């Protein structure tokens, strides 16, 4: 007899069990990836550097997970550096909202944009310097009012919302919207076009016409090595036919994707820096989550502080050494949704 039934406790769902197994037992993703067919090329001219490694990348579907599409290692190192900066600086500031907002009055610029060396050093080191005053924030609660260097807040940063601002409490989009970064919108749209009519053995994976795609909302998620994201379904968007497009940077992770209920045992895949994951069709309604981030798994071209001195990314980003330090210990996920 099931012990949990005898004790009156509800038995754990298959999704919960998998989350625990991958988090604690360090079970490894073992899901079979089946080569899928892309009907269109992956292309984005006019960026000043190649964005995609190839116009005809390898795409994969998962058995029993209709609608899920993975394009491995799609973004070039330059594009990953560009996207990292976009996520860390351009998108990570007001009026976009972050998980820190209820607790702190954040400065008008990104915590990552603080150019002084103190911004990304440890809080202990920062408190002994005069410099970090430029990076202070004030908790809104007067009782706790205390200056905090950016370095103390960075480990607590978990997300920024882009475009329409998702409210995690009401699980709705609040009225009003911030401007969605146009270059990020172009990138997501190029992906949406490339994955239109993607198929597996003649069966459609994604029936959405990517030319109609535009980003209404997005989330940048930041994961430290011990962070995770619990299983959930993204179903606030009115338009559930358009794919949810999700990009990974930095550390690898275990990604679980199941079905419409938590009772369906999820499949596990390893997501790597530069991968594109698209939740299309049926898989838009699937439970998914990130039970584990994998330490020491970020690619050298992101963690090397002097990386690619000849590429456009390094030339444009003198502050890269700060970002490389962050990316060596974090995963960034940038995702986009068409809401209507
Ligand atoms: O980090 C990821 O890959 C998943 C993020 C996610 O599911 C979400 O933001 O809704
Ligand atoms: Fe999600």
Which mutation among 166, 246, 251 tests ligand 1's pocket best, with the greatest number of atoms within 8 A of CB? 246
Task: For ligand 1, say whether the CB of 71 is within 6 Å of any of its atoms.
Answer: no
- DSSP H stretches of helix in 31-131: 77-85, 123-127
Does residue 153 contact residue 209 with C-beta atoms inside 8 Å?
no
Does residue 19 contact residue 230 with C-beta atoms inside 8 Å?
yes
| Ligand 1 centre distance from Cα of residue 233 (Å) | 10
Residue reference for tokens 């390893």: 270
Inter-axis angle of helices 77-85 and 320-329, nearest 10: 100
Give the three-state DSSP class for 295: coil
Tokens read off for 40: 């269109």
Residue ranges of the annotated binding site are 232, 234, 288
Task: For ligand 1, say whether the CB of 120 is within 6 Å of any of its atoms.
Answer: no
CB atoms under 10 Å from CB of 213, counted, come to 22
pLDDT in tens, the chain (340 residues): 444 445 667 789 999 999 999 998 778 998 999 999 999 999 999 888 999 999 999 999 999 999 999 999 999 999 999 999 999 989 999 999 999 988 888 888 888 865 444 444 344 433 433 333 344 666 776 666 777 777 788 889 999 999 999 998 898 999 889 999 999 999 999 999 999 999 999 999 999 999 999 999 999 999 999 999 999 999 999 999 999 999 999 999 999 999 999 999 999 999 999 999 999 999 999 999 999 999 999 999 999 887 744 555 555 676 787 889 899 999 999 999 999 9
Which mutation among 29, 98, 229 tests ligand 1's pocket best, with the greatest number of atoms within 8 A of CB? 229
Nearest to 279 by CA among 73, 71, 69, 74: 69
| Ligand 1 centre distance from Cα of residue 231 (Å) | 9
| Ligand 1 centre distance from Cα of residue 287 (Å) | 11
The pTM of the full predicted model, rounded to 2 decimals, is: 0.91
Task: For ligand 1, say whether the CB of 80 is within 6 Å of any of its atoms.
Answer: no
Nearest to 298 by CA among 321, 340, 328: 328
Query: Rounded distance, CA 96 to CA 132, Å?
Result: 23
| Ligand 2 centre distance from Cα of residue 235 (Å) | 9
Atom of ligand 1 nearest to the CA of 248: 3
| Full set of structural domains in the chain with CATH | 14-94+157-337 (2.60.120.590), 100-153 (no CATH)
Nearest to 92 by CA among 253, 338, 340, 330: 330
Which ipTM was obtained for this model?
0.99
Task: For ligand 1, say whether the CB of 245 is within 6 Å of any of its atoms.
Answer: no
Residue ranges of the annotated binding site for Fe cation are 232, 234, 288
Task: For ligand 1, say whether the CB of 221 is within 6 Å of any of its atoms.
Answer: yes
Query: Rounded distance, CA 178 to CA 85, Å?
Result: 19
Task: For ligand 1, say whether the CB of 283 is within 6 Å of any of its atoms.
Answer: no
């Amino acid at each position: 007899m099931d012990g949990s039934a005898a004790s009156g406790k509800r038995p754990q769902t298959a999704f919960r069990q998998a989350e625990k197994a991958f988090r604690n037992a360090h079970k490894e993703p073992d899901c079979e990836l089946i080569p899928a067919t892309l009907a269109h090329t992956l292309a984005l001219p006019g960026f000043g550097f190649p964005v995609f490694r190839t116009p005809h990348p390898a795409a994969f579907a998962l058995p029993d997970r209709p609608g899920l599409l993975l394009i491995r290692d799609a973004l070039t190192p330059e594009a990953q550096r560009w996207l990292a900066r976009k996520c860390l600086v351009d998108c990570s500031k007001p009026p976009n909202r972050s998980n820190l907002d209820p607790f702190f009055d954040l400065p008008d610029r990104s915590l990552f944009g603080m150019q002084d060396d103190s911004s990304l050093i440890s809080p202990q080191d920062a408190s002994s310097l005069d410099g970090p005053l430029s990076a202070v924030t004030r908790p809104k609660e007067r009782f706790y009012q205390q200056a905090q260097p950016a370095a103390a807040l960075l480990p607590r940063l978990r997300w920024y919302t882009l475009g329409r601002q998702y409210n995690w409490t009401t699980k709705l989009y609040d009225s009003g919207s911030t401007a969605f970064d146009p270059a990020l919108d172009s990138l997501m749209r190029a992906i949406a076009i490339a994955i239109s009519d993607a198929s597996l053995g003649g069966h459609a994976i994604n029936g959405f016409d990517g030319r109609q795609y535009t980003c209404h909302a997005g989330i940048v998620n930041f994961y430290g090595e011990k962070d995770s994201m619990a299983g959930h379904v993204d179903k606030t968007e009115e338009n559930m036919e358009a794919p949810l497009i999700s990009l990974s940077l930095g550390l690898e992770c275990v990604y679980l994707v199941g079905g419409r209920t938590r009772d369906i045992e999820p499949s596990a895949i390893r997501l790597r820096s530069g991968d594109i994951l698209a939740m299309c069709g049926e898989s838009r309604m699937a439970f998914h989550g990130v039970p584990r981030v994998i330490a020491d798994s970020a690619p050298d071209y992101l963690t090397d502080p002097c990386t690619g001195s000849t590429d456009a990314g390094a030339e444009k980003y003198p502050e890269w050494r700060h970002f490389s330090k962050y990316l060596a210990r974090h995963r960034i996920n940038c995702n986009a949704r068409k809401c209507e």
